[in-house]
Structure 1
Amino acid sequence: MGSFPTPSPSPFPSPSPSPSPEVSLLDSVVGRLRRAGCVFAEDEAALIFSVARDRRDVDGMVRERVRGLPLEQVVGFAEFCGLRVGVSAGVFVPRRRTEFLVRQALGVLPERGVVLDLCCGSGALGLAVAHGGPVCELHAADIDPVAVDCARGNLAGVGGQVYVSDLYDGLPARLRGRVDVLVANAPYVPSAEIGLLPAEAREYEPQAALDGGSDGVEVQRRVAAGARAWLAPGGRLLIETGERQAERTVRAMADGGLAARVEECEELGATVVIGTAAPQEPS
């Protein structure tokens, strides 16, 4: 039933000949999760117990997980780049493969750079970049008000500004021509393949965060087409994409006036296309 954050050590003792009530409850929870199809039931149970306030809380979380909710939405956070990122119900859950996009962004981030996270969801990308690099200004945007509320909570501590915006439409004009690094985990699943995704993604994450249109690159084309106006000279656009979509993503960036290259990480199964705006012409 999907990936999950690395759990904290379970606060419950190991089983003994006369198990304590806590151990009996833990065993019961593991059994319920396993019967629901959770492959890593023991780890999921330990994580639920580590954040639950009482037995009623445990029971409520287990019911939600058995119903199919992503574990990250059940416990309220995801582990991403070593950070705990708050994840509200109905918000896209950051995937581990997207950590490769963060690493690539940090590799091109200038000193005191201006960062924009489009299609930000929970704000995980912007948060990780802010913690890992010398960010001067952090901005993020999403079309979904629920995601924006979640991102505002996650980015408040790093001074991030978050906007309800259909890509660039709702951004402040003062950002034009100033963005050093623009990151976008725009959807790239072809519409016809949405039905093949795990049920917890199909049913509990917003379709707008998953559906990339007929060929998986429709939203990415819009991101690439508008990026040059917002990037600083020499600024970069980084888009996570699928291996099958990478060639189309490169073409979209070229059509948008950016010089593009592809970076891949076999370990995480991740593909990122990086587009660079032309540097400032010497006067």
Structure 2
Amino acid sequence: MGAPVSPAAYEALVARLRQAGCVWAEEEARLLVAAGGGPQRLAGLVDRRVAGEPLEYLLGWAEFCGERIDVDPGVFVPRARTALLVSAAARVTGPAASVVELCCGSGAISRVLARRLAAPRLLAAVDVDPAAVACARRNLAAVGAPVFVGDLFDPLPVAWRGRLDLVVANAPYVPTAAMALLPPEARRYESAAALDGGPDGLAVLRRLAAAAPDWLAPGGHLVVEVGQGQVDRFRAVLTEVGLAPSVVRDEASDAIAMLGRYPDDVAGGRYEN
């Protein structure tokens, strides 16, 4: 329960947040009041928000695709535009699928896919950051999805090779030189490893694409998010590793999802049931 706040104090709080540059000042004020355990704690939360700390860290959660996702300080905060990635992944994944989310952060994508997909046979997530893994394990405990700590496919059981119907990842794709242009709350508070994609933003995505064909089942898909200006380069990457590329865009949210489909006609059938 939040601390009682007089109308005058609430309006002053909204004005302070708006002056600090919070676009949704009234909504943020409402959430901070609801989260505050008393006047002193509320004042501390407001001070931290005005200083630039992400609202999600102050609340301890983020709303994503209709789910309330736990978010710990330093863990990548799920963005609204990543809803396109989730929708694109769900559209190409049939019932009883085997699904792995890489670079999972809080596990938000897996949490939503667990609800949207028809009884996935397998759902698991991976992140290289132990803090993100701890957060994702809380978010995915209710759906029984294991979360592994390690680099991309490395910690997954070898028996899963060639058997995954969907590999989905919101991997880091910000070019290193563009990191300085990110909003201060992302640049100062989120893990750089969750954002920095190397010189052209595709360093992690290239490694992911190169390894994906060994893990995808025939007809399976790799689905990732990329930035504006990266589509042509990543399309070439997918083609080079043997995945058929396609692109889904949402102009309203400035979001781009790219898909790479592994062919059905795998020569000789790499793996036997």
- Range into which the TM-score falls when normalised by the shorter chain: over 0.9
**Aligned counterpart for 1:190 among listed residues 166, 175, 189:** 175
* Distance in 2, Cα, partners of 1:113 & 1:95: 25
Decide whether aligned partners of structure 1 residues 256 and 32 sit closer, same or farther in structure 2, where only a CA change above 3 A counts: same
Q: For residue 125 of structure 1, what is the amino acid of its counterpart? A: I
Please list, as runs of the form range in 1=range in 2, the aligned pairs for 1:11-22 lying within 5 A after superposition. Answer: 22=6
Counterpart contact for 2:5–2:33, Cα < 8 Å: no
Residue 101 of structure 1 pairs with residue 85 of structure 2: yes
Residue 243 of structure 1 pairs with residue 204 of structure 2: no
Decide whether aligned partners of structure 1 residues 21 and 158 sit closer, same or farther in structure 2, where only a CA change above 3 A counts: closer
The C-alpha deviation readout for 1:102-146, integer Å capped at 9, x for no partner, is: 001110111111111111111111111111112221111111111
Q: Which residue of 2 aligns with 1:170?
A: 155
Q: Secondary structure at the match of 1:68?
A: coil
- Report the identity percentage: 47
Q: CA deviation at 1:71?
A: 0.9
* Distance in 2, Cα, partners of 1:174 & 1:52: 48
Residue 34 of structure 1 pairs with residue 29 of structure 2: no
Residue 24 of structure 1 pairs with residue 8 of structure 2: yes
Q: Which residue of 2 aligns with 1:147?
A: 132
* Distance in 1, Cα, partners of 2:125 & 2:81: 20
Q: For residue 189 of structure 1, what is the amino acid of its counterpart? A: V
Q: For residue 60 of structure 1, what is the amino acid of its counterpart? A: G
Counterpart contact for 2:2–2:37, Cα < 8 Å: no
How large is the RMSD of aligned CA atoms in angstroms? 1.9
Q: For residue 81 of structure 1, what is the amino acid of its counterpart? A: C
The C-alpha deviation readout for 1:216-270, integer Å capped at 9, x for no partner, is: 1111100100001111111100010012001111111112221111111112211
**Aligned counterpart for 2:103 among listed residues 105, 115, 119:** 119
* Distance in 2, Cα, partners of 1:90 & 1:149: 12
Counterpart contact for 2:36–2:42, Cα < 8 Å: yes
For structure 1, the residue ranges without an aligned partner over 5 or more in a row are 1-9, 13-19
Q: Which residue of 1 aligns with 2:186?
A: 201
* Distance in 1, Cα, partners of 2:37 & 2:117: 35
Bigger CA drift: 178-187 or 51-60?
A: 51-60
Q: CA deviation at 1:51?
A: 2.6
Q: Which residue of 1 aligns with 2:65?
A: 81
The 4+ residue runs of structure 1 with deviation greater than 4 A are 280-283
Residue 48 of structure 1 pairs with residue 32 of structure 2: yes
Q: Which residue of 2 aligns with 1:3?
A: none
Bigger CA drift: 232-241 or 246-255?
A: 246-255
Counterpart contact for 1:220–1:252, Cα < 8 Å: no
Counterpart contact for 1:253–1:259, Cα < 8 Å: yes
Q: Secondary structure at the match of 1:268?
A: coil
Counterpart contact for 1:188–1:212, Cα < 8 Å: yes
* Distance in 1, Cα, partners of 2:130 & 2:51: 25
* Distance in 2, Cα, partners of 1:31 & 1:111: 49
The C-alpha deviation readout for 1:84-114, integer Å capped at 9, x for no partner, is: 1111110111111100010011101111111
Q: For residue 47 of structure 1, what is the amino acid of its counterpart? A: L
* Distance in 1, Cα, partners of 2:5 & 2:114: 44
**Aligned counterpart for 1:180 among listed residues 159, 165, 181:** 165
Q: For residue 66 of structure 2, what is the amino acid of its counterpart? A: G
* Distance in 2, Cα, partners of 1:50 & 1:249: 43
Q: For residue 229 of structure 1, what is the amino acid of its counterpart? A: D
* Distance in 1, Cα, partners of 2:31 & 2:93: 34
* Distance in 2, Cα, partners of 1:177 & 1:53: 50
* Distance in 2, Cα, partners of 1:164 & 1:34: 39
Q: Secondary structure at the match of 2:85?
A: helix
